Amino acid sequence: MPYARAALLTAGALLLTACSATDASDAADTPKTAVTLDNCGHTVRVDSPPKRAVSLNQGTTEIMLSLGLADRMVGTATWTDPVPKGLEKANAEVARLADNAPSYERVLETEPDFVAASFVSTLGKGGVATREQFEKLGVPTYVSPSDCAGKDNSGDGDGARKQPLGIDAVYGEVRDLAAVFGVEDRGEKLIASLKQRMTKATSGLDASGTTLLYWFANSDSPYMAGCCGAPGIITRSLGAKNVFDDTHEEWPQINWETVADRDPDVLVIGDLTRKSQTAESAAKKIAFLESDPVTRNMDAVRHKRYVLLSGQAMNPTIRTVEGVEKVAAALRAFGLAK
């Protein structure tokens, strides 16, 4: 088969690339010792810092860019938002393989020596490829621990949380990737900055008694946040309450009648630039809310208590901290936080 022959040729190229990368590895801040990680049920061994990494989701991409690793990356994919301010130049240096999920063949064309993803569904059955497919070619893989720790991804949809996610899982991903690339000091500096921002955003704030709803996408059958993913980190850090904290599903699809019945004080709205669902942008979401007969009389809609977040801030990424900052600032402005 043509594909099988292409895969064998690519495998040979990968081996040559790995040898070349090892011979050329002379960066002062990248030790040549192997790194072994226990990652989402897989043992990952990286013999030397990657030189040709591919990130298959925006969340992992932004961590790598924040660690100053653009020159070690040969591809990114699956974007929902513009890159954060300060990372535009670095991001422009890395090829975007696809706005959404690339094909397995497209990833192999880059001759990667490390492949990372934010979600089990990306590196798994039905995704870009399984981890085993890459590993058979000698390419180590990594999945964000926040998508597997205390989470069941075996069913349909976006999985369900057995226990609430904590921000430490995000910090753990930063540490893991920093170790893989031999830039541990940069990782600790990034974590310290994120912690400082969290403390500043929540200092003296008490939003107990305030109810929130998180709408990610789709107006026909909307995806709302359950109790325990990244929106849970935001909600708990502020002392507020998610009106759908009675479901452990990550992003259950909930009808508008139920949403209106819960009548949250504040609507946290995903402002996405992708085009794979209905009502991706915040503008389209708000237009729907203010015109639909079921939603237009909700308290938050009548008083325009909206908080706009990037999709990445609503996923477990380093930008979840951005979500905490923006929701905290909005609750203060709305007079809903003590």
Q: Which residue has the tokens 């709408």?
A: 215
The predicted pLDDT at position 32 comes to: 60
Q: Which domain holds residue 67?
A: 2-143
CA 284 to CA 64: how far, in whole Å?
Answer: 31
The predicted pLDDT at position 9 comes to: 36
Task: Report whether pLDDT(24) > 80.
Answer: no
Tell me if 215 is assigned to some domain.
Answer: yes
Does residue 217 share a domain with residue 133? no
As a whole number, mean pLDDT of residues 306-316 equals: 97
Does residue 245 share a domain with residue 116? no
Does residue 6 share a domain with residue 138? yes
For residue 169, the surrounding DSSP H or E stretch is helix 167-180
Which residue, of 119, 143, 167, is where some domain finishes? 143
The predicted pLDDT at position 155 comes to: 83
Does residue 138 share a domain with residue 229? no
As a whole number, mean pLDDT of residues 230-235 equals: 98
Tell me if 225 is assigned to some domain.
Answer: yes
The predicted pLDDT at position 111 comes to: 98
Tell me if 197 is assigned to some domain.
Answer: no
Q: Which residues of 44-54 are buried (b: 16+ CB within 10 A; e: fewer)?
A: bebbbbbbbbb
Tell me if 266 is assigned to some domain.
Answer: yes
Q: Does residue 142 sit in helix, strand or coil?
A: strand
Task: Report whether pLDDT(35) > 80.
Answer: yes
Does residue 223 share a domain with residue 126? no
Q: Which residue has the tokens 């200092």?
A: 203
Which residue, of 96, 113, 143, is where some domain finishes? 143
- DSSP tag of 47: S
- Confirm if 146 and 165 have CB atoms less than 8 A apart: yes
Tokens representing residue 95 in the block: 């090829």
Please, what is the average pLDDT of the chain?
Answer: 91
CA 11 to chain centroid = 29
Burial, 201: exposed, middle or buried (Cβ in 10 Å; 0-12, 13-18, 19+)? buried
Task: Report whether pLDDT(20) > 50.
Answer: no
Residues 265-283: pLDDT tens digits? 999 999 999 888 899 999 9
CA 213 to CA 259: how far, in whole Å?
Answer: 9
Tell me if 199 is assigned to some domain.
Answer: no
Number of structural domains in the chain: 2
As a whole number, mean pLDDT of residues 143-169 equals: 94
What pTM was estimated for this model as a whole? 0.88
As a whole number, mean pLDDT of residues 240-255 equals: 97
The predicted pLDDT at position 157 comes to: 84
CATH of the domain at 77: 3.40.50.1980
As a whole number, mean pLDDT of residues 215-226 equals: 96
Rounded (10°) angle between helices 320-333 and 230-238:
40
Residues 157-206: pLDDT tens digits? 899 999 999 999 999 999 999 999 999 999 999 999 999 999 999 999 99
Residues 72-128: pLDDT tens digits? 999 999 999 999 999 999 999 999 999 999 999 999 999 999 999 999 999 999 999
Does residue 116 share a domain with residue 6? yes
Q: Does residue 178 sit in helix, strand or coil?
A: helix
Does residue 209 share a domain with residue 124? no
The predicted pLDDT at position 234 comes to: 98
Provide the pLDDT confidence category of residue 328 given band limits of 50, 70 and 90: very high
The predicted pLDDT at position 8 comes to: 32
Task: Report whether pLDDT(5) > 60.
Answer: no
Does residue 220 share a domain with residue 129? no
CA 269 to CA 247: how far, in whole Å?
Answer: 19
Tell me if 210 is assigned to some domain.
Answer: yes
As a whole number, mean pLDDT of residues 321-334 equals: 98
Task: Report whether pLDDT(224) > 80.
Answer: yes
Looking at the chain, the whole-number percentage of residues with pLDDT higher than 70 is: 91
Q: Which residue has the higher pLDDT, 22 or 221?
A: 221
Rounded (10°) angle between helices 184-202 and 167-180:
160
Which residue, of 125, 143, 161, is where some domain finishes? 143
As a whole number, mean pLDDT of residues 233-256 equals: 97
Tell me if 163 is assigned to some domain.
Answer: no
